[in-house]
Amino acid sequence: MSNIPKIVILGAGYGGVLTALRLQKELNYNEADVTLVNKHDYHYITTHLHMPAAGTDNPENARVSISKLIDEFKIDFVKSTVVQIRPQDKKVILEDGTLSYDYLVIGVGGEPETFGIPGMLEHAMNIRSINSVRLIREHIEYQFARFKREPHRTDYLTFVVGGAGFTGIEFVGELSDRIPELCKQFDVDPSIVRLYNIEAAPTALPGFDPELVEYAMNVLSKKGVTFKIGTAIKECTADGVIVGEGEEIRSQTVIWTGGIRGNRLIEEAGFETMRGRVKVDEHLRAPGHENIYIVGDNSLIINPEGRPYPPTAQIAMQQGVLCAHNLVASIRNQPLKGFEFKNKGTVASLGKGEAIGIAFGKKYKGRFAAWLKKAIDLRYLFIIGGIPLVFRKGKFL
Amino acid sequence: MSNIPKIVILGAGYGGVLTALRLQKELNYNEADVTLVNKHDYHYITTHLHMPAAGTDNPENARVSISKLIDEFKIDFVKSTVVQIRPQDKKVILEDGTLSYDYLVIGVGGEPETFGIPGMLEHAMNIRSINSVRLIREHIEYQFARFKREPHRTDYLTFVVGGAGFTGIEFVGELSDRIPELCKQFDVDPSIVRLYNIEAAPTALPGFDPELVEYAMNVLSKKGVTFKIGTAIKECTADGVIVGEGEEIRSQTVIWTGGIRGNRLIEEAGFETMRGRVKVDEHLRAPGHENIYIVGDNSLIINPEGRPYPPTAQIAMQQGVLCAHNLVASIRNQPLKGFEFKNKGTVASLGKGEAIGIAFGKKYKGRFAAWLKKAIDLRYLFIIGGIPLVFRKGKFL
């Protein structure tokens, strides 16, 4: 039995990976035992998933093997699924074992928030993981093949994207690029295909700069996207969606990007939550648990305007860095630091060669914004994997 | 109004295309009006469809644009679907029009023969056209994607091929090559995948050389195919098939290759049929109809041993050549020739680099047989499209 503290990190998303990478760098030899637990043996680049979902890129380019990221001499890796978190016992129950911890980092990621829309959980697909985007891609291609055998079924070629936030907008941008390719591949008249983007809020990309939102909607409308903004989806069925005042859009493909809530594991563990997320203290710890940090989609942080920060890769990465710092400080009995989000800007892709964004206090659109998006993706690869990863995956971005 | 005879060819399969190509060559200027009618604006190479169905080749390599085959100064092409043949009126009703004829060539192709197996028509897919093999390919890929989201559903990864004739054997050969690729692409343990080939007759490839059949079954078994020979499919359901004495094989993918019968258009036109096929006279004409020729899957010819020749590309091509000759002879009031099938041999592919065959009175197996198969395919491309087509499509074979 070693006496050194045991740190367990649950989840190898943006928050978990950054925590692990920084611990690996900052901890001295034998200062702590670090174990990273993840469902898959790879990390996926969530901000890139809209491309393999639409089929404009290979899913391989949206994931990185964990063994390529962490140094397994310094950090243990366990490929397993978390079944239960037991703060009272300082234990985590895995699908195939149990882990004890002194410090826990919860970075297990969120779940789709369907706001209770009937049928959404059962009938819609989500852009959430490598496996989920493979399903979306294959599902879409399959609908083209089915249509060729049953040409009266135009619902096979009607695609509904629920939610016009960043994921929804980036996905319809890619899908509107892919549809003409699929039409060519399957000899389909492009005028038969319908692509809807439906958003209940009064605007697409709520909270984003209105001028850029207008630009984005113009670009996407020209590419064939039909927007229904300020229109709620009332129900999702096996045959499509019911929107607004009862209008039915018949579709075999509904992709829900409308929201993220906390993971059910968090509530089940007994933490106090809001929409499944825990309002962490300034050091990113769960209230009442000095040894439990929560990063990413499951942590709730209120911004200076009094609203929660949206769950993004950017904030999760910054949380991971601070979380690692505070863990090391705790072990060394040094003072902890408080979290302060530094907004480095946001860029949303609208498909090939088109994007909108705000960075360095300026607005960008078109080709330069698209280049900026690539630069941000490359920067991320550099942060997590250094130059080799940039060369291996970067050429595909 | 011209006084020259009007020849209408229905269907641009092997029989119809060869008839058209030979008429184009043999007819003098203004000797006859020839119109070719086909559902698609392309001819497909049926003997190559097992590859795009499994996904080991692109469907584009199994089709040729009709405008690349026929000289549209000599032959009119109408892209339409035949709705009804009216011998009494010398008319053909198309989906979008009507054609009159003096001579008719029926080469519309057959339909799957399901021998009355309940559910087979509704639930199984067939290797019959570009659109049908696109569906099979996308369907199979989709099952892998679905499995990753519902890993308890092993029926998603159970593939059932009904019929171990040429099409069935060639298809399982390709699919057993493709499965390891799909497993890699979707991170699936190959031991989960099941590929069944089920045949009611007491042997695979009934009527073929037993030594070669045994060789084929060994090759395919080693590639992971589970044969159930002498086992009838009793029923096909939405959940799989019931075989033999009530054993259920749960599968979301059933491909039926068990047989071909005549097209319903033939019976509906009032011809006397056996399994939907017309026993043509020695000149390939429908009995009682001096001006109607039937080639390909819808014609029935009895071989010297008293059994019907199986419907193959080879016999359809030879029929097309003779049909064109007899049409020209009729117009010129010259004597007609009788049909005599010349068996040039048969080669069945078993996937990459493996095949079995009989040609020039000898048996072949392994790499040489696979090369022979390619040579036959190239020869066909040469016959229908000359050297340019061999270069355009041949490199993919």
B contacts of A138 (beta carbons < 8 Å): 138, 141-142, 144-146
Model pLDDT for residues B232-254, shown as the tens digit of each residue? 999 999 999 999 889 999 999 99
Class of domain A6-112+260-345+383-394 (CATH, top level) = alpha beta
Which residue in the set A142, A148, A149 is minimally distant from B142, CB to CB? A142
Query: Per the CB < 8 Å rule, is A138 touching B145?
Result: yes
**Among A134, A138, A186, beta carbon nearest to B134:** A186
pLDDT at B40 over 60: yes
What CATH class has A120-256? alpha beta
pLDDT (average), residues B38-45: 95
Whether residue B395 has pLDDT greater than 60? no
**Chain A residues closer than 8 Å to B156 by CB:** none
* B294, two tokens: 């039937």
The neighbouring-strand residues paired with B94 are: B82, B97
Q: For chain A, how far is it from start to end, CA to CA, in angstroms?
A: 46
Distance from C-alpha of A107 to C-alpha of A328, rounded to nearest angstrom? 18
ipTM at complex level:
0.82
CB contact under 8 A, B142 and A141: yes
CB contact under 8 Å between A131 and B146, yes or no, is: no
- Residue A366 burial (C-beta neighbours within 10 Å; 0-12, 13-18, 19+): middle
Q: Is the pLDDT of residue B385 over 90?
A: no
- Residue range B377-395: mean pLDDT, rounded: 73
Find the mean pLDDT for residues A234-255.
96
The reported pLDDT for the residue numbered A394 is 60
Q: Which residues of A touch B (CB under 8 A)?
A: 131-132, 134-135, 137-139, 141-142, 144-146, 148-149, 186
Domain ranges of chain A: 6-112+260-345+383-394, 120-256
How far apart are the C-alpha atoms of A128 and A53, rounded to whole Å? 10
Q: What is the pLDDT of residue B397?
A: 47
Looking at A170, A174, A199, A354, which residue is catalytic? A170
Q: What is the mean pLDDT of residues B362-368?
A: 91
Give the C-alpha separation, A388 to A69, whole Å.
11
Q: Which residue of A has its CA nearest to B148?
A: A131
Query: In chain A, what residues touch B146 (CB-CB under 8 Å)?
Result: 135, 138
Shortest CA gap A143–chain B (Å): 9
Using 50, 70 and 90 to split pLDDT, how confident is the model at B1? very low
* Residue of B113, B150, B170, B211 marked catalytic: B170
In this prediction, residues A224-235 reach a mean pLDDT of 97
Interface contact B138-A137, CB threshold 8 A? no
What percent of chain B has a predicted confidence (pLDDT) above 90? 85
Mean pLDDT of chain A: 94
CA distances from A93 to A82, A86, A268, A290, A308 (A): 6, 8, 12, 20, 30
Max CA pair span of chain B:
70
pLDDT tier for residue B381 given thresholds of 50, 70 and 90:
confident
Q: How far apart are CA A313 and CA B334, in angstroms?
A: 82
Q: For A97-117, what is the mean pLDDT? A: 96
CB contact under 8 A, B186 and A137: no
Question: What DSSP letter does each residue of A246-313 carry, written as one string?
Answer: TEEEE-SEEEE-S-EE--HHHHHTT---BTTBEE--TTSBPTT-TTEEE-GGGEE-B-TTSSBPP--H
- Are residues A157 and A250 in contact, defined by beta-carbon separation less than 8 angstroms? no
pLDDT surpassing 70 at residue B190 = yes
Catalytic annotation on A72?
no
For an interface test with B, the pick among A41, A79, A131 (most B C-beta atoms closer than 10 Å) comes out as A131
Q: Which residues of B touch A139 (CB under 8 A)?
A: 142, 145
* Residue of A138, A150, A183 for testing the chain B interface, max B β-carbons within 10 Å: A138
Chosen from A57, A152, A187, A188 to mutate, greatest number of chain B CBs within 10 A:
A187
Mean pLDDT on A211-230? 97
Q: How many residues does chain A have?
A: 397
How many Cβ contacts (< 8 angstroms) between chains A and B? 45
Please say if the pLDDT value at position A2 is more than 70. no
Give the residue from chain B lying closest to A148, CA to CA: B131
Over residues B300-350, the pLDDT tens digits come to 999 998 999 999 999 999 999 999 999 999 999 999 999 999 988 899 999
Q: Among partner residues A132, A138, A186, which is closest to B141 by beta-carbon distance? A: A138
Distance from CA of A225 to the nearest CA of B (A): 25
Nearest by CB: A148 against B131, B148, B149: B131
* Predicted confidence (pLDDT) at residue A142 exceeds the cutoff of 70: yes
Confidence of residue B175 (pLDDT cuts 50, 70, 90): very high
Q: Closest to A142 (Cβ–Cβ): which among B138, B148, B149?
A: B138
pLDDT in the model for residue A1: 46
Q: Does residue A391 register a pLDDT over 80?
A: no
The residues of B whose Cβ lies within 8 A of any Cβ of A are 131-132, 134-135, 137-139, 141-142, 144-146, 148-149, 186
Which residues, in sequence order, are CB contacts of A39 under 8 Å at separation 6+?
A79, A80, A81, A82
What pLDDT band is residue A392 in, cutting at 50, 70 and 90? Answer: low
Identify which of A134, A144, A149 has the shortest CB distance to residue B148: A134
Give residue B394's pLDDT.
60
Q: How distant, in Å, are the alpha carbons of A272, A343, B276 from that of B306?
A: 83, 84, 19
Model confidence at B391: pLDDT above 70: no
Poorest-pLDDT segment among A211-225, A375-389, B153-167? A375-389
Residue of A nearest to B141 (CA): A138
pLDDT greater than 50 at residue A69 = yes
High-pLDDT (> 70) share of chain B, %:
97
Does residue A393 have a pLDDT over 70? no
What's the per-residue H, E or C state across chain B?
CCCCCEEEEECCCHHHHHHHHHHHHHCCCCCCEEEEEECCCEEECHHHCHHHHHCCCCHHHHEEEHHHHCCCCCEEEEECCEEEEEHHHCEEEECCEEEECCEEEECCCCEECCCCCCCHHHHCECCCCHHHHHHHHHHHHHHHHHHHHCCCCHHHHEEEEECCCHHHHHHHHHHHHHHHHHHHHCCCCHHHCEEEEEECCCCCCCCCCHHHHHHHHHHHHHCCEEEEECCCEEEEECCEEEECCCEEEECCEEEECCCEECCHHHHHCCCCCECCEEECCCCCECCCCCCEEECHHHEECECCCCCECCCCHHHHHHHHHHHHHHHHHHHCCCCCCCCCCCCCCEEEECCCCCEEEEECCEEEECHHHHHHHHHHHHHHHHHHHHHHHHHHHHCCC
Does position B386 have pLDDT exceeding 80, yes or no? Answer: no
Task: Please give the DSSP secondary-structure letter assigned to residue A125.
Answer: B
pLDDT of residue B368: 86
pLDDT tens track for B106-158: 999 999 999 999 999 999 999 999 999 999 999 999 999 999 999 999 999 99
Choice among A16-30, A301-315, A373-387, B10-24 with the minimum mean pLDDT: A373-387
- Which chain B residues are Cβ-neighbours of A144 within 8 angstroms? 134, 138
Is the Cα dihedral A352, A353, A359, A361 positive or negative? negative
CATH of span B6-112+260-344+371-394: 3.50.50.100
At residue A10, what are phi and psi to the nearest 5 degrees?
-100, 115
Of all residues in chain A, what percent are helix, strand and coil, respectively (each to 5)? 40, 25, 35
pLDDT band of B359, cuts 50, 70, 90: confident
Please check whether the two domains, B6-112+260-344+371-394 and B120-256, share a CATH topology: yes
pLDDT tier at A53, thresholds 50, 70, 90: very high
